[in-house]
Structure 1
Amino acid sequence: MDCSDKKECREKKAAIIQATVELVGEHGFHGAPMAMVAERAGVAAGTIYRYFENKDALITGTYKDLEERLQAKVLQGFPEQGTPREKFFHFARVLVKWWIASPVDFRFVEQFHNSPYGVAQRRDKLLGKQRNLCWDIFHEALEQQGVKDLPLPILFGLTFGPLILISRDHNHGFIALDDTMIEQTIEGCWNAVKR
């Protein structure tokens, strides 16, 4: 894509991504056609195609953008030399706080992970074909025998599954998470898998 004003290009792409996140969060993938995304983003319908080849590329590109933003947040203050427990606590804390501060982002990510768009990617991450921080944390914990000898998908389910549920319940107003409750929940998740 040729764009003479780099700042304007970045702003348009960011507006398209934000519109996609919002519309998918409100209406699901099928309820967020390209024309509606363009209208919400305040760009011409054809503009989206300068950044994304088609709707599939838009959806996966939007997810990638959210994932990169999360990764940047997680790496701030990440305890590189810490124990797997310390690394997990840091990661989980950042994740839950992001999910409850940005419920629209959270809804998009949930829908992505539970759709055909996200299944192959999740499979690659869970099976270590696509290395990521979670995989590294739990692989290290398994090597050090700090967690139960279970397959990674089960370890992820026992730790991140409850965090997803409490974040969703907070966003729906069923509970009100504060820092203390977040820490206690993360502790409970870790206790579910530690040896």
Structure 2
Amino acid sequence: MTKPERRDEIVRAALELIAEHGFHGAPMALIAERAGVGAGTIYRYFENKDVLINELYRGLEERIYPVITEGYVELKAFRGRFLHLGTALLRYFIKNPLDFRYLEQFHNSPYGVAFRREKLLGEREGCDVYHELFKEGVAQQVLKDVPLPLLFALSFGPLLAAARDHILGFIELDDALIARTIEACWDAVKR
């Protein structure tokens, strides 16, 4: 196995184990075992578990961004851009349940606090098309004039709950129900 393949196997094993068992249920030794490498090998690629966890997050964010923004710049209407991003994100989560489960854990843990703060305050470069869209919507008086964290909650809360319930088998999100879900998120934030 080449070095890039080893690193990829470590990342894949960590993603699977953390999504299945949480951060504390995925010790480095178990990650190494699942990846088929020695425990010490992980430390050649990642200084410690915290670095691995944060790198996993960054990698997922970099994979998601091009998916949700494909075709986005061509859209001129604000509502169309909002619906596009929400639909693309929900479909990504449905197609990639491990990614969703990891991201949900990350954002609801101490690891995610700094990233969320940077995103909400707009201190993070790139990969945050939502922050830009929400700022524009408030400035143009298209969206409710409420704090950005509330706009994020009203937009993502229902979307994340729907993705979670689909992944758990409680509902089946087809194209029509996805569209209705994103419309409901729009209704929650529009003026």
After superposition, what is the alpha-carbon deviation per residue over 1:39-90, rounded to whole angstroms, capped at 9, x for unaligned?
A: 1112222221121110000000011111100012123222355233222212
Aligned position for 1:38:
32
Aligned position for 1:160:
156
CA RMSD of aligned residues (A): 1.4
1:84 and 1:138 in contact (8 A); partners too:
no
Aligned position for 1:75:
69
* Aligned counterparts of 1:9 and 1:85: Cα–Cα separation in 2: 45
- Give the TM-score of the pair, scaled to structure 2: 0.94
* Aligned counterparts of 2:137 and 2:103: Cα–Cα separation in 1: 26
Name the SS for the 1:87 alignment partner.
Answer: helix
After superposition, what is the alpha-carbon deviation per residue over 1:123-173, rounded to whole angstroms, capped at 9, x for unaligned?
A: 111121224111011111111111110111001101110000011011111
Aligned position for 1:178:
174
* Aligned counterparts of 1:59 and 1:85: Cα–Cα separation in 2: 35
Point out where structure 2 has 5 or more consecutive residues left out of the alignment.
Answer: none
1:84 and 1:141 in contact (8 A); partners too:
yes
After superposition, what is the alpha-carbon deviation per residue over 1:10-38, rounded to whole angstroms, capped at 9, x for unaligned?
A: 22222111111110111110110111111
1:39 and 1:45 in contact (8 A); partners too:
yes
- Give the TM-score of the pair, scaled to structure 1: 0.92
Aligned sequence identity (%): 54
CA distance 1:96–1:39, change in 2 (3 Å): same
* Aligned counterparts of 2:91 and 2:189: Cα–Cα separation in 1: 22
Name the SS for the 1:173 alignment partner.
Answer: coil
Correspondent of 2:56 among 62, 70, 82 = 62
